[in-house]
Structures are given as structure tokens and as C-alpha cells.
Structure 1
Amino acid sequence: MIPRSILPQGRRGVRRGLALRRRTAMATLEIVMVLGAMFPLAFLLFRLIGEGLRMYHSHVANVVGSPLM
């Protein structure tokens, strides 16, 4: 690892690099949080859709008397 004093970018470059790193870290954290929030919601939605389809199928089978169930 090269010491910071040798690098020719000066203070502003170091600060910009740190800000950029912080911004990318925040963006990745945001993406992870959004995905983590979306997965249970999608799971619940799929469960609700499956439950509704099963209920609808049983209702149709009861009304029509079809050999679905």
C-alpha cells in the first residue's frame, strides 16, 4: 500500500474518493434494503394469489360440479 502523501491527487482527490465510496455504499445499501423489502411482499402476494386461485377453483368445482377437484 502506497502512503497517501506520495499520491499526487492532494486533499480534494482523497475527499472525492471517500465521498464516491460512501455514495456507492449508500446505493448498494439502498438496493439491498429495497430487495429485502420486496421479497416478503412478493412472497405474500404469491401466497395470496395461490390461495385465491385454490378458493376460486373449489368454488367453480362446487357450482359446476366439474371434475376439476
Structure 2
Amino acid sequence: MTNTENAVEREFQNAKEINGMNFTKPKVYEIICCEERMDIIYDRVEGESLIERKEEAIPFLLQIMNEL
């Protein structure tokens, strides 16, 4: 596996791990290959992105990472 493929697989596994945590997040479905590129299929979640609220999001994301 390439570094990119490893990163996609790691992101997919992380998304599956946070599925049981109590906050709004997209459901992750699968990894697909399209035109020699790997992608992850997620549900769409309406609302503000964490990027739009980065001052609030950084401590929240650090907390989530500590729980993994």
C-alpha cells in the first residue's frame, strides 16, 4: 500500500471508531476507488463545519483524539 492508501484506510478506521461518540457526525460507509483514486463515502451532515468554528473546534477535536 502507498502512503496515500494507508492514510485513507486510517481515516476510514478513525471514522468508524468515532461512530459511537455523542456528537453529530457523518456516517461512514465504505472506501471506493474511482479513476485511480481512493475516496471515503460519508453521509452528508447539514450545519456549520468545524473549520467555520475553529476556535471552538480545536479543544473539542483534541478531546476526541484523547478518547480514541
Higher Cα radius of gyration: 1
The one of the two structures with greater contact order (alpha-carbon pairs below 8 A, sep at least 6) is 2
More strand by share: 2
More helix by share: 1
TM-score, reference length from structure 2: 0.28
